[in-house]
């Protein structure tokens, strides 16, 4: 069984990215167990807090979830042509303390997708993740891209992708990432 962790980088209840994450959970290939999580409960990074109190429980849970995964799918919103600060903050916390970072990130398979109501579907946010994932020494999947634009019209009332072609696209993307994760 291949285990993939999907993380939505939005805290919004009606988040398009969290919806896309749940669509992904239902479209993974056979033999994949998929866990969906959000960054809810992760405090703002403050080294004084880390020094005084150590790693907060929500961050430990995130680190444990990443460590348990063969592959990690970041589902990122785009804010001001980059990734949202709250999502970067969560990954920054997960890279602490430095002695743990390699065990969490180094060599782990990562991929990034995203949804936005605009016409460019998070392309700049996805690009903004590249130096971060490079710095953390992840094994980043570059052979697929999935940018869900016009997200306001993309989902039906049940939260599924309304367009069968978009469903197929996500399914193909997940099949490609799974093959990469399985090596």
Ligand X SMILES: Cc1cc2nc3c(=O)[nH]c(=O)nc-3n(C[C@H](O)[C@H](O)[C@H](O)COP(=O)(O)O)c2cc1C
**Residues found near ligand X in the complex (CB under 6 A):** 10, 12, 15-17, 77-81, 116-118, 120
Tokens of 18: 């969290």
Minimum distance, C-beta of residue 10 to ligand X, in the bound complex (Å): 3
Cα angle, residue 21 at apex, residues 20 and 25 outer, rounded to 5°: 115
Residue 53 CB: number of other CB atoms within 10 A? 9
> Smaller CB distance to ligand X: residue 12 or 182?
12
> Smaller CB distance to ligand X: residue 71 or 77?
77
Minimum distance, C-beta of residue 167 to ligand X, in the bound complex (Å): 19
> Smaller CB distance to ligand X: residue 32 or 151?
151
Minimum distance, C-beta of residue 147 to ligand X, in the bound complex (Å): 10
Distance CA 97, CA 178 (A): 29
Q: Cβ(81)–Cβ(124) under 8 Å?
A: yes
Minimum distance, C-beta of residue 18 to ligand X, in the bound complex (Å): 6
Judged by DSSP in three states, 48 sits in helix
> Smaller CB distance to ligand X: residue 40 or 64?
40
Residue 29 CB: number of other CB atoms within 10 A? 16
């Amino acid at each position: 069984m291949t285990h993939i962790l999907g993380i939505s980088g939005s805290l919004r209840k009606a988040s398009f990215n969290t919806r896309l994450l749940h669509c992904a959970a239902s479209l993974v290939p056979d033999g994949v167990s998929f866990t969906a999580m959000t960054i809810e409960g992760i405090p703002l990074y403050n080294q004084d807090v880390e020094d005084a109190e150590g790693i907060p429980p929500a961050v430990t849970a995130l680190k444990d979830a990443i460590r348990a995964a063969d592959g990690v799918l970041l589902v990122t919103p785009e804010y001001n042509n980059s990734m949202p600060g709250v999502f970067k903050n969560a990954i920054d916390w997960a890279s602490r303390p430095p002695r743990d970072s390699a065990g969490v990130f180094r060599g782990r398979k990562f991929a990034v997708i995203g949804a936005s109501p605009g016409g460019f579907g998070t392309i700049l946010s996805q690009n903004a993740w590249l130096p971060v994932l490079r710095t953390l020494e992840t094994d980043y999947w570059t052979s697929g891209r999935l940018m869900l634009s016009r997200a306001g019209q993309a989902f039906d009332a049940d939260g599924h992708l309304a367009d069968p072609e978009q469903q197929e696209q996500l399914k193909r993307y997940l099949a490609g990432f799974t093959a990469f994760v399985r090596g």
